[in-house]
Amino acid sequence: MPTIRRTRTAIARVTRLFATVAFVVVPMAARAQDFPSKLADSSFWKMVTEFSEAGGSFRSDNFVSNETMYQWVIPELLRTTKPGGVYLGVGPDQNFTYTVALKPKISFIFDIRRQNMLTHLMYKAVFEQSTDRADFLSRLFSRPRPPKTDTSMTANALFAAFSASPPDSVAFRRNIAAIRDRLIKHHGFKLSDDDVRTISYVYEAFVSAGPDLTYNFGPRGMNGFGRGRMPTYADLQIEHDSLGAQRSYMANESNFRALKEMEENNLIVPLVGDFAARPDTIQGPGAIRRVGAYLKEHKAIVTAFYLSNVEQYLFNQGEDWSRFYTNAGTLPLDSTSTFIRSVFNGMGTYPGGFMRGQQMLASILAQVTAFNEKKLMSYADVIQTSR
């Protein structure tokens, strides 16, 4: 994946464009949020089922991220965005860290794989049943809680304590049963037999690898793509932002409790969705457009949309990139709505030997406008108009 350098000229161009279009989408009167503080189980499941599309595939299970620097942009996001909006994202649990940092009213997490949606339901059940971070890790990995672990521990100390804790087969059987019961019996979610088997498959991976779980773990992960050592779940949780602050959802008990409360209130909604969904198929307009219509109905604004490096694939798949920006243009936006994207150079490594990935930010409104004006036509254009 080649490194693409942005130029001062390109940044100046997008800044001028941003100034031109900053306030043309959402009037001040529409900025009040009217989301409930909690969604009923039936409302949550209706969103999951009716907003989602048919599942697609990806070349990796993607149990955890491989982006060691995803926290680095959080200080800038906190400076330029407002809490109380809506967070959108893709992929696994790095979305939790962005959610606790940005404090949205609700989060929607898209992925073309149904397995990712089910992974988030697994997380939901584990969060809801856990009393604190140590209890969460004990349940997530089916490992005994180490002695003397408490709520005051740093993330580094907590993961160091769990590093010597072996998996427990009895706990595994108890925990997977508790996950199924929480989702099906407690919440009443209509999971198919295939869904239940997929959740078991995912949970087995978490238990087998424990806190050492990586992006390329498992039969669908070892395909030779990616260079350098992949970061583990534990590595990602003890990472920090550009100012040296640990921001992960496991960094402290306050972050964990905030996320647990959102899960209990059904405010983290995982969906199956293709970024490049066609609006005119038999399935309807696609997950992004359905969410956009829902947000407009509730007078809500998108705070941030985390894309990982999905765009890199879209630009290599015919007109998929064009359909994505068209879909993104249907979202309710304002001058602070921000894309978060990951850019990999495929060659260098981050200190520690990890895969290197740079996080970049851009105005969603400015880039959608540039696309509509045919000024954003390549992946290079996307990166050059990011910061």
CA atoms within 13 A on the CB side of 59: 7
Would you say residue 77 has pLDDT above 70? yes
Q: Which of 33-37, 63-67, 246-250, 339-343 has the lowest mean pLDDT?
A: 33-37
pLDDT in tens, 266-281: 999 999 999 999 887 6
- Tell me what pLDDT residue 345 has: 61
Would you say residue 307 has pLDDT above 50? yes
pLDDT in tens, 225-248: 444 578 999 999 999 999 999 999
Decide: 59 and 221 in contact? Cβ < 8 Å.
no
Q: Which of 23-32, 86-95, 285-294, 301-310 has the lowest mean pLDDT?
A: 23-32
In the chain, the percentage of residues whose pLDDT exceeds 70 is 84
Would you say residue 291 has pLDDT above 50? yes
Q: Which of 57-61, 106-110, 114-118 has the lowest mean pLDDT?
A: 57-61
Averaged pLDDT, 103-128: 97
Burial class (CB in 10 A: 0-12, 13-18, 19+), 161: middle
- Tell me what pLDDT residue 28 has: 35
Would you say residue 31 has pLDDT above 60? no
pLDDT in tens, 181-214: 999 999 999 999 999 999 999 999 999 999 999 9
Structure tokens at 352: 């520690």
- Tell me what pLDDT residue 219 has: 61
Instruction: Report the 3 state secondary structure along 147-202.
Output: CCCCCCCCHHHHHHHHCCCCCCHHHHHHHHHHHHHHHHHHCCCCCCHHHHHHHHHH
pLDDT in tens, 139-159: 999 999 999 999 999 999 999
Q: What are the phi and psi torsion angles at 301 (to 5°)?
A: -120, 140
Averaged pLDDT, 356-368: 90
pLDDT in tens, 322-338: 999 999 999 999 999 99
